[in-house]
Structure 1
Amino acid sequence: MSQQIRTHIIFFIFLSLSVSIQAQIDSKKKNVSIPAIENDKDTLDASPTTPVKSLGNIGNFGGITTPKPTPNLSMPKKEFSMFGEDFGDPGELYADRLKKHQNSITDKLELGSKGSKVDVFFGNHRTKSKTVQVLYRDYGLEDGDLIRVSVNDEIVEYRVGLVNTFRGFTIKLREGVNKIEFLALNEGYALPNTAHFRVVDENNNIVAADMWALSVNVKGTVNIIKDPN
């Protein structure tokens, strides 16, 4: 084979390889288009959506119990009143409630009214002292007992509350009988009206002393007789 023929064969081989490589590169650059195929049984539903129906009063949905509608409850209507009654006098209503509360305590403790219902006389007691102190205190529970104190029918203490310590006043004695009266104005909340009194002369000697348990409007009286010097 001559040299010229060999050269042509080699050139032809290189030319074939070059054309094959170029064809492969062009095929990669081109997009392959696939035509759409119509399908009568298309899975996409383009029909308008309809609103979801309300669950209503389903008793159980997915493990969650829906509450049932509660019927309207008609509550009794009551007029507001500070004192529990319409157009009542506040003072009278308060006094009435206090009295009921007092009676309730009395009934529960079975206290009752153990005070004297008749006037009590504590006797005649003599002294030569020109003055005396009239003292009184509540010997029981300090429960609001009230008394009125008079000397020779003149009111000295119109309304005084009894406490657990002695307190009182000093009077100048006249010749003869000096009448001292203690009037129970109430019985407190622990019945009855209880007190311990003392009459003390100017030398701090006790002239008279006693205790009482009185009902309302009952008196306790003691006479202090001043002897002439």
Structure 2
Amino acid sequence: MKYYFSFLVFTIFTLSAFSQIDSRNNSISIPAVESPKDSIESNTVIPKEPIKSDNNKFNALNTPKVSTNLNFPKKEFSMFPEEKFGNPGELYTKQINKNIENLKLTPEEIEQRNGSLTDQFLGDFKSKAKFVNVVYRDHGYVDGDVIQVLVNDDIIHARVFLSGGFKGFKLDLQKGFNKIDFLALNQGSSGPNTAEFRVVDDAGNLVSANQWNLAKGVKATIIIMKE
């Protein structure tokens, strides 16, 4: 009986000890270690909804508005807005037409239109006067005609603008020949170089009066002989 009791106590003690060990083993908590795979998956960014665009935005950037009603200038651009240019061949065509018309004109009519291409001698006159007044003007449209005046081949007036009114100079006559040349320096804007001149002596008598139509570089000449 004593042996049986001792065996029972030993058995109970042994079972109690094993129960405590199992209880301790079940209560141990081991922390979990995240694997690299878990870390990547946990940091994955879930994309948001795509940005909605309207007519003025693209990918959150503003785009310029495009107008469908564009008003383009009707006239071509020119750095000189007040000046109108014709056909580039217009000037050439006018010149051809002018040449054709010249074929229908007499030599006198052509000279009247284009100006004389040869020097013109407008006469010689005798006078007993001590001096004469020589005056001239543009007898046509005042278009910028310019002349040079020479006496006995010496330049008296280098550049004279022909206006609508008479102007000129006083010339003291030398014994013998007094040659007066009117040299056309240009043909003005409408051509040719046109002028009316008068020569009046010291008594107010008209010695000579005439006109010229000259091309550029051509001259008209008169001679006054003092007796």
Measured in 1, the distance between the counterparts of 2:174 and 2:115 equals 32
Aligned twin of 1:166: 166
The one-letter code sitting in structure 2 at the alignment partner of 1:185 is L
Aligned twin of 1:16: none
Deviations 1:121-174 (A, max 9, x none): 001111111000111100011111110001111110011110010001001101
Measured in 2, the distance between the counterparts of 1:143 and 1:110 equals 20
Aligned twin of 1:135: 135
How many correspondences in the alignment? 140
State how 1:35-184 maps to structure 2 within 5 Å. Answer: 53-56=52-55, 68=66, 114-184=114-184
Deviation of the 1:53 alpha carbon: 2.5
Deviations 1:162-192 (A, max 9, x none): 0010001001101111100000000011110
The two structures have a TM-score, normalised by structure 1, of: 0.54
Extract structure 1 runs of 4+ deviating beyond 6 A: none
Return closer, same or farther for 1:68/1:183 CA change in 2, 3 Å cut-off.
Answer: closer
The two structures have a TM-score, normalised by structure 2, of: 0.54
* SS of 1:136 mapped into structure 2: strand
Return closer, same or farther for 1:169/1:53 CA change in 2, 3 Å cut-off.
Answer: same
Aligned twin of 1:191: 191
What do you get for the CA RMSD once the two structures are aligned? 3.4
Deviation of the 1:55 alpha carbon: 2.5
* SS of 1:181 mapped into structure 2: strand
Give unpaired runs (5+ residues) of structure 1. Answer: 1-49, 58-66, 71-81, 83-99
The one-letter code sitting in structure 2 at the alignment partner of 1:199 is V
Deviations 1:13-47 (A, max 9, x none): xxxxxxxxxxxxxxxxxxxxxxxxxxxxxxxxxxx
Deviations 1:80-117 (A, max 9, x none): xx9xxxxxxxxxxxxxxxxx9xx79x86x969961000
Return closer, same or farther for 1:68/1:157 CA change in 2, 3 Å cut-off.
Answer: closer
Return closer, same or farther for 1:110/1:52 CA change in 2, 3 Å cut-off.
Answer: same
Measured in 2, the distance between the counterparts of 1:217 and 1:174 equals 27
Give unpaired runs (5+ residues) of structure 2. Answer: 1-48, 57-64, 69-78, 80-87, 100-109
Deviations 1:45-74 (A, max 9, x none): xxxxx89832338xxxxxxxxx6589xxxx
